[in-house]
Structure 1
């Protein structure tokens, strides 16, 4: 008798979900076209349903989902007519439409920023930064949690990948817990790893270049409203939210988990030993620090001291890092470590958003979903709160904030444009939702950094959800409060 290996049932389940996604696509394509929706719009909705099933089930890799998305959309669009066009789409025109996202400057920014993350990993500077901060703050429970938050902030300034940031920090946190002679699933281990995951989501919302979903949202907003946000503007608009959420996470973790440190000196010794193993700062690390600080200055002074946008400044910085003598790595070293699947998924997500917008599918979806809530005559703060709750609930089914942004932001833009407010206010409403897209606090599968941390065995889903539900609730209330106070004061609403 033959038995299935543990991998085979999982593989069969993934294949079944992939077939199910195509079944959903086929059913939507065969349905009568609803009133007010074009044929290309119906195709866009069918493609959307297909990729949502794929993203939620994770039946294929992110890069593979991008290829499936593009190919299926091209197949479905052949012979359909876009709104305002007289001739049906040929295969070449459909392909050009679905490749339009790859020409976005936001894709270049994501790719270049990932090269910066690779440089930090290649030189070991990311680990050095984390260890220096943890050594400086001290070893009591409160100080260790504060150190984890500070590490998350510093790495978020330079690394646009949540997975890369958290991947660099996890071994350090495990090392601290081990040095204290405690099991990784102790209350201290749970606290440190939960904070590592959750603070990553917080800073995703606070720093423009910290997360791909921010850039994909801004790309949609630029096309819809003719306006974007500089790095400094995003930072200033999000700063109170980020600071308060960091403090809330700090207090919640201490109160709910009550971590303890039985032997602080052992942890201090362990951290110093790891720092000593790294040795003195290398020439490559020094050059990388100079380049990274220079980029941070260029990003934060965009539109103020110079005309370079974030993408252009980043491209110049990466060019320096790849130059002989001046840089820290060569192309052959870098290309092996860059997660190209993230870049491909990001570009395909932009293409999907453009398809939803140009085909009229986003307008139609907004009218039959958000439009039925009767929000047009409601005050702005209540509109933002209800949209934020809608986004937070929808996030429960998504493992990728990039995928959620590709799906949700075009619909929110279409809905916002039906509201009786001026463009700057509509822009602000969508900007706030582009932050809320990163609300992956409740369940471990809601964000890749959560999954990395729970894979250590440091905490249970129940522990994570207990803190996640509390911080999500407070986050929604904070969004409402800032919509009534700070954001109108500085002109974002």
Structure 2
């Protein structure tokens, strides 16, 4: 029953909007496209079917109804305009987007980390070195996520799939149990540090969160600006490093563990490392290959595109046996994400193609008429950040709101679009902390039994407000200086 209700709501959202006439200044086909787009966003939030399937259904519907949703009367009247061919070309346009292939390639990197146990080994090494004191253990959790972040575009895979399975073993060593008063001994602290730090690292690196990479494509699509891996890191690093250093300590003060010291954790990690044994051939190969990929992503963009660099490394993984072809064909999450992002890229570009984004920017810009460029940037960033309360997916948030926010900023005279773009995309990782459903790993930690709902919402509000304030107070002036 719930599934059918979740399937009905997106359809109703579309139908209700279609019952209204297009707003003044907006073409009918743009309004029809937007109505379907709203239904897609509702579908991505409720997920009656997987996200990739939602996107696929949407582009099929728009393609079949393209005479009323996608193409203007002028285009349809042209003798050289073939509607079936043009609608199909639009529908599959996202699948040839280099960013989509980069995301897919990076998922294969995550698979290699898991298959070779290199990710598990790196996290255990940090725990072994820093796990004697609870605060230092918090920093070990943060560092484990940081080490994996540049190479793992899914914070769900990185934090939920690599870090969480390791730290979930730790509370029991202290007698800290889920759904119990003893959870506050150490388990609650560790879980909160893990989810907050993955939000921070998701902001630090363009390749640390899948919507980050999507946002780069959307920014380029909307205003023609290219944000490189290096540009992103330089802009986000000062705030990210500060938050990464401060988060375990702030959590220690605001959500203090009952146990501050224990000698058993490093011993446990050492035993786990002994079981893993020495570095395997495939782990060594993977280390070399991810370093090559990182170098190419940062320094080699003039010679090879980031997507091709990722595919090159994957090809070498297949040749050397680090990955097998079945690892690629059997990775459902990667293929789901591939279809999801490819269809979302097409849908987002379609909003621009039909003129909806231009109209929205003009209307939103009129609301900020007379505002200074700096005031406009602050208002747009704050609204963009707080609207994440309405989304259970950073991807859905990015797809729905980023093009609109950019269009509004572009309509305000004097706004530095590079600065606004970087502020918006740098907020995507941070905003995941505000709710128990704000980002991929959130439900994992929320469901661990160590973070009661009242605690999660309270801490999410505190840390979410702190992240936003520091983004404006530190990130904004720094980006003004370096961009």
Task: Name the counterpart of 2:456.
Answer: 464
1:56 is displaced (CA, Å) by 2.4
- Counterpart in the other structure of 1:130: 123
1:397 equivalenced with 2:393 (yes/no): no
The Cα offsets for residues 77-99 of structure 1, whole Å up to 9 and x where unpaired, read as 33456358431683442232132
Alignment-derived partner of residue 317 in structure 2: 321
SS in 2 for 1:175: coil
Residue 419 (structure 2) aligned to one of 389, 413, 428: 428
Query: Deviation of residue 407 (structure 1)?
Result: 0.9
Please state if 1:476 is matched with 2:438.
no
Q: SS at the partner of 2:39? A: helix
Residue number in structure 1 paired with 2:339: 344
- Matched with 1:5 is none
Higher alpha-carbon deviation: 292-301 or 113-122: 292-301
Instruction: Check the 8 A contact 1:248/1:471 in 2, yes or no.
Output: no
Per-residue deviation, 1:51 = 1.5
Q: CA deviation at 1:441?
A: 0.9
- Using a 3 Å threshold, how does the CA distance of structure 1 residues 143 and 419 change in structure 2: closer, same or farther? same
Q: Deviations over 1:193-248 (max 9, x none)?
A: 12212211211111011111111111122233333122111111100121122234
Uncovered stretches (5+) of structure 2, i.e. residues with no partner: none
**Alpha-carbon separation, structure 2, partners of 1:405 and 1:311:** 21
CA distance in 2, matches of 1:198, 1:149: 9
Q: What residue ranges of structure 1 are gaps of 5+ in the alignment? A: 1-11
Q: Equivalents in 2 of 1:196, 1:128: separation in Å?
A: 17
Query: Is 1:168 equivalent to 2:167 in the alignment?
Result: no
- Using structure 2 for the length normalisation, give the TM-score: 0.92
Q: 1:155 aligns with which of 148, 151, 171?
A: 148
SS at match of 1:82: coil
Alpha-carbon deviations, 1:37-62, whole Å to 9, x = none? 12321122111210122122233221
Q: State the 4+ residue runs in structure 1 displaced beyond 4 angstroms.
A: none
* 1:40 and 1:359 in contact (8 A); partners too: yes
What value does the CA root-mean-square deviation take over the aligned residues? 2.0
1:386 is aligned to 2:379: yes
| Structure 1 residues 5-45: Cα deviation after superposition (integer angstroms, max 9, x where no partner) | xxxxxxx1221131121122123223222221123211221
Q: How does 1:70-85 map to 2 (within 5 A)?
A: 70-80=59-69, 82-83=71-72, 85=74
Offset of residue 263 of structure 1? 6.0
- Relative to structure 1, the CA distance from residue 367 to residue 18 in structure 2 (aligned partners, 3 Å threshold; closer, same or farther) is farther
Aligned position for 1:3: none
Matched-pair contact (CA < 8 Å) for 1:440–1:447: yes
- 2: distance between equivalents of 1:124 and 1:334? 17
Tell me which residue corresponds to 2:307. 311
Matched residue, 2:214: 216
Name which of 349, 365, 371 aligns with 2:365.
371
The answer for the alignment partner of 1:37 in structure 2 is 26
1:116 maps to which of 109, 113, 117: 109
Alignment of 1:174-185 (within 5 A): 174-184=168-178
Aligned residues: 472
CA distance in 2, matches of 1:138, 1:80: 58
Q: Write the distance in 1 (CA, Å) between the matches of 2:72 and 2:426.
A: 31
Distance 1:213 1:349 in 2: 11
Aligned partners of 1:47 and 1:69 also within 8 Å: yes
Please report the TM-score for the alignment, with normalisation by the length of structure 1.
0.90
1:285 aligned residue: 283
Structure-2 residue corresponding to 1:207: 205
